[in-house]
Amino acid sequence: MKFGGTSLRDAAAIRSVCEIVRSRMDSHPVIVVSAHSGVTDRLVGLAESAVASTSAIDDLVERHAKIREELGIREDLHGELFHELQDLCRGIHLVGELSPRSRDYILSFGERLSARTVAAAMTAAGLPASAIDSFDIGVRTDSRFGNARLAPDEGRILAGLSDIRGLPVVTGYIAKDAAGNITTLGRNGSDLSAAYLGNAIDADEIQIWTDVDGVLTADPRVVPSARPIAEMSYDEAAELANHGGKVLHPASLAPAIQKSIPVRVLNTHRPDSAGTLIVKQSDDPNLVVRCIAHKRRVTIVNVESSRMLAQSGFLARIFGCFQRWNISVDMVATSEISVSITLDNTENLDDAVRELEDFATVSVEHDLGLVCVVGHGIKNRLGVPARVLDPLHRTGVVVRMISLGALKVNVSLVVDGADLDRAVRALHDEFFEVGGPEHG
């Protein structure tokens, strides 16, 4: 059972979490927690400002003190961690430099603090629990600070958990590399921690408890009328997560898929609502589109070379260059002499562009939006691309790039950043409001 930051935002929310867990003790849960909402953002700010000034952590200390007080938890619970954080900030200030390694070290405090709070709250509520830093039960990664990849588990986690007394409350998002440095899994990474632990212990189910009624037909912040999806397949959920659906971390489906463990997304504030069940196969013959996902701040790189006309190896050269600069490519559209590629992350892009310019003309456009129509039914319905393009055309959204994946679980489009919300709403209207999904 993974509880996200919004599910742990204050004492009242943590009390609800205790009651949810109490009602499910029969299934012997392992609890995974995020930092209280907003804490990781605050730690990011702290890390960045520590270089220039001796940072004050008073607001963080107060926020945690208030939660402890309201929950009746002992006052000295976080003392050591806050000392360590203060020392770390001082050290960063002294050396005048923030390495990716020390940044991850600072970011790890959010989860380490909240796991202690939640375990103490559970214990106070009569559910004896232990706070566990995930690395103490063998959660290991490589050393890609800020976006570390989990190492295969090989039975370590099960062995690590077997010594724990009471209900285990494990930190999400953080781990250690082989050298013992603290790493993080990328923002939103607690979902991934939960899926990895669920895989390691052969869980019956991986539950992601959040602040909405499950996976919805679109991001409710853009489409307020978005509705919960009762059931969807792993690959649909993976497409949604990969295309910006913040409700799940993009890599969080893989550990579930590997062992066919169902994933359920549930609402901490409404624990009786059914939520969304994500399983291997969920084919509803009447359903065409399951949901609309979107992503902001997408970059397109256009690479064109008339010299490569009728020559082999053009794509290999381009992708080789992105690989060398460790740039992950998202969507691709090609003709014989030109390629358009979308990226989320523009780190190293200038270097890659310089290299591409040796054999091609390159242009880069920033701040575009990606909208993705997800659903298994797309592969069986010839009319879907027309139904995707028509409402966009009608609402005056200019489509810059299109991709209909080979698996045909999604149709993705790149639009101007300023048109993105309008595009998402137009597509949601088309598939969910006008005819309804079963109308497909």
Stretch that binds ligand ADP, among 75-83, 162-170, 199-207, 238-246 (CB under 6 A): 238-246
| 189 binds ligand ADP per the rule CB under 6 A | no
* C-beta of residue 183 within 8 angstroms of C-beta of residue 174: yes
Stretch that binds ligand ASP, among 181-189, 215-223, 274-282, 330-338 (CB under 6 A): 181-189
Which amino acid, one-letter code, is at 251? A
Binding test (CB under 6 A) with ligand ADP, winner from 220, 271, 385, 405: 220
Q: Which long-range CB contacts under 8 A does 71-80 form with residues at least 24 apart?
A: 71/11, 71/14, 71/15, 71/117, 71/120, 71/121, 71/124, 72/124, 73/117, 73/120, 73/121, 73/124, 74/120, 77/116, 77/117, 77/120, 78/113, 78/116, 78/117
Measured in Å, how far apart are the chain's first and last C-alpha atoms? 34
Binding test (CB under 5 A) with Mg ion, winner from 1, 2, 3, 4: 4
Stretch that binds ligand ADP, among 74-82, 103-111, 204-212, 302-310 (CB under 6 A): 204-212
Residues near 46 by beta carbon (within 8 Å), at least 6 away in sequence:
55, 57, 60, 89, 106
Residues numbered 22-41 forming contacts with ligand ASP, rule: CB under 6 A: 34-35, 40
* C-alpha to C-alpha distance for 404 and 413, rounded to whole angstroms: 9
Residues numbered 5-24 forming contacts with ligand ASP, rule: CB under 6 A: 5
Binding test (CB under 6 A) with ligand ADP, winner from 46, 50, 67, 215: 215
The residue among 279, 253, 247 whose CA lies nearest residue 266 is 247
Tell me the site size for Mg ion, rule CB under 5 A: 2
From the list Mg ion, ligand ADP, ligand ASP, none, partner contacted by residue 215 (C-beta under 5 to 8 A by kind): ligand ADP
The residue among 201, 203, 222 whose CA lies nearest residue 212 is 222
Which string of x and - marks every residue 5-44 that binds ligand ADP (by CB under 6 A)?
xxx--------------------------x----------
> What is the distance of C-alpha 269 from the center of its chain?
21
C-beta atoms surrounding 141 within 10 Å? 25
Of 36 and 387, the one with the shorter C-beta distance to ligand ADP is 36
| 212 binds ligand ADP per the rule CB under 6 A | yes
From the list ligand ASP, Mg ion, ligand ADP, none, partner contacted by residue 275 (C-beta under 5 to 8 A by kind): none
Residues near 306 by beta carbon (within 8 Å), at least 6 away in sequence:
337
| 188 binds Mg ion per the rule CB under 5 A | yes
Residues near 367 by beta carbon (within 8 Å), at least 6 away in sequence:
297, 298, 299, 417
* C-beta of residue 295 within 8 angstroms of C-beta of residue 370: yes
From the list Mg ion, ligand ADP, ligand ASP, none, partner contacted by residue 378 (C-beta under 5 to 8 A by kind): none
Q: How far is CA 22 from CA 118, 129, 213, 215, 248, in A?
A: 13, 12, 20, 24, 25
Which string of x and - marks every residue 144-183 that binds ligand ADP (by CB under 6 A)?
----------------------------------------
| 221 binds ligand ADP per the rule CB under 6 A | yes
> What is the distance of C-alpha 398 from the center of its chain?
28
Residues near 52 by beta carbon (within 8 Å), at least 6 away in sequence:
93
C-beta atoms surrounding 281 within 10 Å? 10
| 263 binds ligand ASP per the rule CB under 6 A | no
Q: How far is the CB of 84 from Mg ion (least distance, A)?
A: 25
| 114 binds ligand ADP per the rule CB under 6 A | no
Which string of x and - marks every residue 187-226 that binds ligand ASP (by CB under 6 A)?
xxxx------------------------------------
For residue 108, give both structure tokens.
């790890």
Stretch that binds ligand ADP, among 25-33, 42-50, 146-154, 210-218 (CB under 6 A): 210-218
From the list ligand ADP, Mg ion, ligand ASP, none, partner contacted by residue 247 (C-beta under 5 to 8 A by kind): ligand ADP
**What residues line the site for Mg ion (CB under 5 A)?**
4, 188
**What residues line the site for ligand ADP (CB under 6 A)?**
4-7, 34, 188, 210-212, 215-216, 218-221, 240, 245-247, 291
